Structure 1
Amino acid sequence: MTREQFDSYCGGMKATTNVIQWGNASVWKIGGKIFAICSNWGDGKEGPEDQLEGRSENQSKNASIGSEPEVHTPRISFKCSDLAYELLPEQHGIIPAPYLARAKWVQINNPNAMSEQDLKLHLDAAYEIIAKKLTKKVRAELGVKI
């Protein structure tokens, strides 16, 4: 999923807002609470899975002259349920999200780690988890029924 597709999908959810912060990350919120983030942090790039691991930023910068330019892929992070937090990091290309793992967030580092359909289901679940934490009054003001 591209960043544009991510933004379009999250923007289609009821009462969501988007802010760009933390080094150009696309941060999606419901009622002021974050449920998903898309950024180009790190060295994730399009290509075979084995190319995504084990390369430092300097190695990427020092690629041989004449080689194909690297295209950085978005890293998508989202809030997940307790069960999803236990299971998802067992898949190649999905890790506990840096800085957010203690709150049960995961990050997709490899664009092939999850289908777009599954990612959308997890984004829906993240939205619902955060929306449920809002007060009834705030949910009513936003017109969100969970």
Structure 2
Amino acid sequence: MTKDELHAAALALPGATMNVQWGDDHIYKVGGKIFVGCDGAYRTLTVKATEIAFEALTASGRATPSRYTGRHGWITFHDLAALDAEEVRGWLKTSHDLVSANLTKAQKNELGLA
């Protein structure tokens, strides 16, 4: 997947925003909460995964538990360009869904997620 494809796919999700923080990391949020992170060069991709996906992807070596947040179900892929675009779109949606599920009802209504 390319940087432009990832950027478009992430921002196409309801209520998604992007800002640069922590140096040059590109952070995508929904309701002020992170659902995707990439380094400035878009080499790495970090997303929140389901428990099953976390286990499968880390056990197979395709991803690693994310530094600092791995214990909370976050995984990192270390070569975005080598990943299948359709698969990445699915991980983005899953991460968005998992994160937005924890927003308040008012936030969900405001973002059109209710």
- What is the CA distance between 1:24 and its match in structure 2? 0.7
Write the distance in 2 (CA, Å) between the matches of 1:101 and 1:33. Answer: 16
Q: Give the match for residue 4 of structure 1.
A: 4
TM-score, length of structure 2 as denominator length: 0.89
2:94 aligned residue (121, 125, 134)? 125
Write the distance in 1 (CA, Å) between the matches of 2:63 and 2:84. Answer: 12
- What is the CA distance between 1:33 and its match in structure 2? 0.5
Larger Rg: 1
Considering fraction of residues, name the structure with more helix. Answer: 2
CA RMSD of aligned residues (A): 1.6
Q: Give the match for residue 77 of structure 2.
A: 108
CA contact (8 A) 1:7 1:26 kept: no
For these two proteins, the number of residue pairs brought into alignment is 113
Unaligned runs of 5+ in 1: 41-71
Write the distance in 1 (CA, Å) between the matches of 2:49 and 2:86. Answer: 16
Confirm or deny that 1:78 pairs with 2:47.
yes
Q: Give the match for residue 53 of structure 1.
A: none
1:56-91 deviation digits (Å, cap 9, x = unpaired): xxxxxxxxxxxxxxxx66100001111111111123
3-state SS in 2 of match to 1:134: coil
Write the distance in 1 (CA, Å) between the matches of 2:11 and 2:54. Answer: 24
3-state SS in 2 of match to 1:144: coil
The structure whose RCO (Cα within 8 Å, separation 6+) is larger is 2
Q: Give the match for residue 106 of structure 2.
A: 137
Letter in 2 for 1:90: A
Q: Give the match for residue 99 of structure 1.
A: 68
Write the distance in 1 (CA, Å) between the matches of 2:88 and 2:35. Answer: 13
Confirm or deny that 1:37 pairs with 2:37.
yes
Write the distance in 2 (CA, Å) between the matches of 1:38 and 1:73. Answer: 5
3-state SS in 1 of match to 2:101: helix
- What is the CA distance between 1:2 and its match in structure 2? 2.2
3-state SS in 2 of match to 1:8: helix
